[in-house]
Amino acid sequence: MIGPISKTCKDKHPIKCYMRSLKVKLIYSFAIVFIVTALSSLAALYSISKVEDKMELAELLDVLTQEILLVRQKEKNFLLYGNVQELHEAHNILVKLEKQITELDEVSTEYFKKTPREIETYKALLTEITSGKSQNQGKNLKLALRTQGHQLMSEIIDTTKKLKDHLDAQVLRYKEISFLLLWIAIPIGLLLCLFLAEWILEPIEYVRKKAVKVMSGEIKAIPVEPVAKKCLECDGLVRSINKMLDTIESKQQQLVQSEKLAAIGKVTAGIAHEINNPLNNINLTAEVLLEDMENMTPEERSEFIKDILVQTERAREIVHNLLQFSRMKKAKVKERVDVADLIENTFALLKNELKITHTKVKSSYEKGMAFVLGNPNQLQQVLVNIILNAIQAMGEGGKLAVNLNVDKKKKKVLVTIEDNGPGIPQNVLGHILEPFYTTKKDGTGLGLSVSYGIIKDHKGDIRIDSREGKGTKVIVELPLAEKADNQD
């Protein structure tokens, strides 16, 4: 069913059709989750890269601080020991330091905007001292060098500290952004997952709930229209399930009918004997009438003819009961049924079977006291199956009790069928209602199983209480239909 439905849908509304497909929904869901994850990952990676850049810059600032301290150390060594080589080394370090500052990013370079001038001044003093041209001003140059060196060191250390504070603030901000993105992404991700799960699973959950109702007997098929608008695959699935349910119901009706015919087969001998009696009477009466018609008075001839009619009516009633029982009615057709009539018709059908086996029957029921809504043909089949089982279990001379009661509080009709047969073993009792389970050599194991299915279909139940050597009690329970109820 899925193929044709999908093709029709694609021909008429291709976009809507694709959006109803579970496969497309899953693809969209994975795509959305992937995009959200990718964006969160990119944001996190961006923050991490920025933090790494700031950490590298902080390390460079530490190097600058160490280098200016090293320059001052070289300066001090010169002033103490007069080693000019120390000033050459200090000069080289300053060149390197100056180059490092110029390679900083634009924001960092802005912090060091005064530093290049200070370095140039300090370098000029170093060059002047190392050239030896101003020996008569040696003391003044050394003092100027010390002063400029101190000023340069203070400038670089202060600038480095300010820049580090700025970097720490930026790192903290990126961390806060990362945590903020995390706290935003988690609830959004959860809400998104819930929405996607609901979007995908809603039609599947609908099918599951309706399937449970089908199992409980509340509905016969799953409505297609609600799910068809939301899920393309579920549409095809529901149609397939409904088709399967129709097939199962059809097969079940065939099974019920075959079991009914099997029940008829069990009482055929009794029915044949019962029909044979009136036929024999008709035959004998007709022969006497034919032989002595001329010697009979009109009153005698009329009496013989009436006798033939009575016997004919008796045979017709037997056949009528059998036809009524064997007739197959639609399972969905339910009407208001007097349970007392069902019991009476069952006894009429099994009348000769009871007579042949010399079964003593004690019954208690009253017409009009208990009505149920159901299929009378199927309900009578249940009673026939149960009573036949009881007759066969008891053998000749058994005692059978059939009682009809109404539980008004629970609104239930109870038909109790009790026999004094050998009873059912406990290990068998638990399986007695299962299909194809039988202890009889010629049994099919379907009689009680079919009966149980019929009663369950009528929202009722069958309870069996039995002990070996003490007989069996079967209680058929059905919902009570009020007298004012209309035929369904």
Rg (CA), the chain: 52
pLDDT of res. 487: 42
pLDDT of res. 28: 72
pLDDT of res. 403: 92
- Look at strands 461-466 and 399-407 and give their pairing: unpaired
Tokens of 376: 């009378």
Cβ neighbours around 375 below 10 Å, total: 20
pLDDT of res. 135: 53
3-state DSSP helix/strand/coil percent for the chain, to nearest 5? 70, 10, 20
User: Which mean pLDDT values do the consecutive 10-residue runs of the chain (488 residues) have?
Assistant: 45 56 71 77 77 82 90 89 88 89 83 87 86 66 88 89 85 80 78 76 81 79 76 77 80 63 57 64 74 78 77 69 55 78 84 81 88 86 85 86 90 91 80 66 63 83 85 90 56
> Is there a contact between 436 and 445 (Cβ–Cβ < 8 Å)?
yes
Closest CA to 478 of 375, 326, 358, 363: 375
> Is there a contact between 447 and 259 (Cβ–Cβ < 8 Å)?
yes
pLDDT of res. 239: 84
- No. of H helices and E strands in the chain? 16, 7
3-state secondary structure of 412: strand
Alpha carbon distances (Å) from 245 to 211, 214, 231, 238, 251: 11, 9, 21, 10, 10
pLDDT of res. 141: 83
Residue 85's contacts (CB-CB under 8 Å, 6 or more residues apart) are none
pTM: 0.45
Give the homologous superfamily in CATH for domain 334-488: Histidine kinase-like ATPase, C-terminal domain (3.30.565.10)
Helix axis angle, 376-394 to 232-266, nearest 10°: 50
pLDDT of res. 332: 57
Q: Domain spans of the chain?
A: 22-208, 267-327, 334-488
Q: H or E element: which one contains 453?
A: helix 447-457
pLDDT of res. 488: 40
Domain at 267-327, CATH from 3.10.450, 1.10.3470, 3.30.70, 1.10.287: 1.10.287
Same fold, 267-327 and 334-488: no
